[in-house]
């Protein structure tokens, strides 16, 4: 069996505006997504076989509650790959789950994307321009965030349901630390979106805010310049029924820029002092929170 080991970075949303709900149940969004150097590890092995068989094993600190059958997004991604490319194979996948479940960090989506990319390499699928577009379409059918994780770009501007992606040049200095705290509560995506009160009018103020945020990243702006521009519309929904998340953000705001990521329940703070970030981490860990200190992810990591 040929085998590949790969890393699946998670993400935070520096900006997330929900514009409208579509007839298919998805939502039109505008988002600035950023990969971070916290993630899951996968080992994927493949060999030819008369019929496709997928074996998925999940281990790690956040493996509990994650099924190893066809309901798992990694399993779905692998099966979709084999069906799309008309390949029959015996596939073994070992997933080390380091990202909390339903945490707003995109762990499942990243795992699925990493699986698709690894299978392309293992099965000799050359990702030319057309194939990349096909893979993005395949990924989008599995989950709205998956196309984002198929690229090596740290930052991307996302539109549509998240599948229309524009890379953002990363000229930020490596002096920003990302502290992520999770209250050990799941925050299902559907509930977060269902709780939104949407108006038909688009907000020009918010549109200009994300444009300015992108501009600051591309010109290497400071944390002081980035902080007032971060935004997440889903906070209003999630805070209404998960007070722990609201309280966590309030606490982290005392230390710097803080925002709920995605549909929660994780909250992140951006800091330019590692010692300060680690001090906050130690305090919150002692209180029972799951806390990480990491950086923005770069493809070379």
pLDDT digits (tens, 9 = 90+) for 94-121: 999 999 998 999 999 999 999 999 999 9
Per-residue pLDDT band for 175 (boundaries 50, 70, 90) equals confident
The pLDDT tens digits for 25-84 are 889 999 999 999 999 999 999 999 999 999 999 999 999 989 999 999 999 999 999 999
Domains recognised in the chain with CATH numbers: 2-168 (3.30.230.10), 177-294 (3.30.70.890)
Catalytic residue among 17, 145, 233, 249: 145
Backbone φ, ψ for residue 164 (5° rounding): -90, 105
Cα–Cα distance, 205 to 256 (Å, whole number):
23
Instruction: Using alpha carbons, select from 280, 261, 270, 278 the residue that is nearest to residue 176.
Output: 270
Active site residue 152: no
Segment 113-131 shows an average pLDDT of 94
Per-residue burial over 218-228, b if 16 or more Cβ lie within 10 Å, else e, is eeebebeebbe
Active site residue 11: yes
Task: Tell me: cis bond preceding 209? Omega within 30 of 0 counts.
Answer: no
More confident residue, 256 or 182: 182
Listed range (141-145, 213-217, 275-279) with the worst mean pLDDT = 141-145
Report CA 93 to chain centroid distance, whole Å. Answer: 20
* Residue 197 pLDDT exceeds 90: no
Q: What's the confidence (pLDDT) of residue 162?
A: 87
Segment 156-182 shows an average pLDDT of 93
Q: For all residues of the chain together, what is the average pLDDT?
A: 93
Rg (CA), the chain: 19
Cα–Cα distance, 131 to 114 (Å, whole number):
16
Segment 185-213 shows an average pLDDT of 82
Cα–Cα distance, 37 to 283 (Å, whole number):
22
Residue 124: count of CB within 10 angstroms of its CB: 9
Q: What's the confidence (pLDDT) of residue 200?
A: 62
* Residue 301 pLDDT exceeds 70: no
Catalytic residue among 11, 35, 76, 97: 11
The token pair that represents 134 in the structure block: 């096909």
Share of the chain above pLDDT 90, in %: 85
């Amino acid at each position: 069996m040929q085998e590949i080991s790969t890393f699946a970075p998670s993400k935070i949303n520096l900006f997330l505006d929900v514009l409208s709900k579509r007839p298919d149940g998805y939502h039109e969004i505008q988002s600035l997504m950023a990969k971070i150097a916290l993630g899951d590890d996968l080992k994927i092995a493949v060999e030819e076989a008369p019929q496709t068989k997928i074996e998925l094993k999940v281990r790690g600190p956040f493996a509990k509650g994650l099924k190893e059958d066809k309901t798992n997004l990694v399993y779905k991604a692998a099966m979709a790959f084999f069906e799309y490319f008309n390949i029959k194979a015996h596939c073994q996948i070992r997933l080390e789950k380091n990202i909390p479940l339903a945490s707003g960090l995109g762990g499942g989506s990243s795992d699925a994307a990493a699986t698709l990319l690894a299978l392309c390499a293992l099965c000799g699928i050359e990702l030319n321009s057309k194939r990349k577009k096909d893979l993005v379409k395949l990924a989008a059918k599995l989950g709205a965030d998956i196309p984002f994780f198929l690229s090596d770009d740290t930052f991307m501007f996302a539109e549509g349901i998240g599948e229309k992606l524009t890379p953002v040049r990363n000229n930020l200095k490596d002096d920003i630390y990302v502290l992520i705290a999770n209250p050990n509560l799941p925050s299902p995506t559907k509930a977060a979106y269902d709780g939104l009160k949407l108006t038909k009018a688009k907000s020009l103020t918010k549109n200009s805010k994300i444009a300015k945020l992108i501009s600051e990243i591309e010109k290497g702006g400071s944390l002081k310049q980035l902080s007032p521009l971060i935004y997440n519309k889903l906070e209003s929904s999630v805070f209404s029924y998960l007070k722990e998340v609201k309280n966590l953000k309030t606490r982290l705001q005392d230390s710097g820029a803080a925002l709920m990521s995605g549909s929660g329940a994780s909250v992140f703070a951006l800091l330019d002092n590692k010692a300060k970030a680690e001090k906050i981490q130690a305090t919150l860990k002692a209180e029972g929170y799951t806390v990480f200190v990491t950086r923005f992810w770069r493809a070379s990591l």
